[in-house]
Amino acid sequence: MSRYTPTSRHYANVAPSVGQSVQTTSGQLVGFVSEVADGRFQVAGNPPMWLTNKSVFTSNGEQLTLMCEAEGLGRFTADPG
């Protein structure tokens, strides 16, 4: 009998693209990527914010999913530079 062993969580190593929609893990729309800089990106939302690329869980072309819900985004905020 084999045992199921869950794999470790995989975090996306992708650069966001301008125009992608940004959503939380539960699917709540946060905004859209409006600018991309080295290691961070700006989300045009209410309020607008800069997040680190470490906040990205998955990206599939037109949509980017974050690691957390909106309430947890404070730990991923970035300096606009």
State the Rg of the chain over Cα.
Answer: 14
Q: How many CB atoms lie within 10 A of CB 35?
A: 14
pLDDT score of 69:
94
pLDDT score of 1:
44
Domain of 28, in residue numbers: 21-70
pLDDT score of 13:
62
Give me the tens of pLDDT residue by residue for the chain, a chain 81 residues long: 444 444 444 455 677 999 999 999 999 999 999 999 999 999 999 999 999 999 999 998 899 999 999 999 999 999 988
Q: Which of 63, 61, 62 is nearest to 24 (CA)?
A: 63
- Tokens for 30, please give them: 């946060």
Task: Name the domain count of the chain.
Answer: 1
- pTM, to two decimals: 0.81
- What angle (nearest 5°) sits at the alpha carbon of residue 28, between those of residues 25 and 23? 60
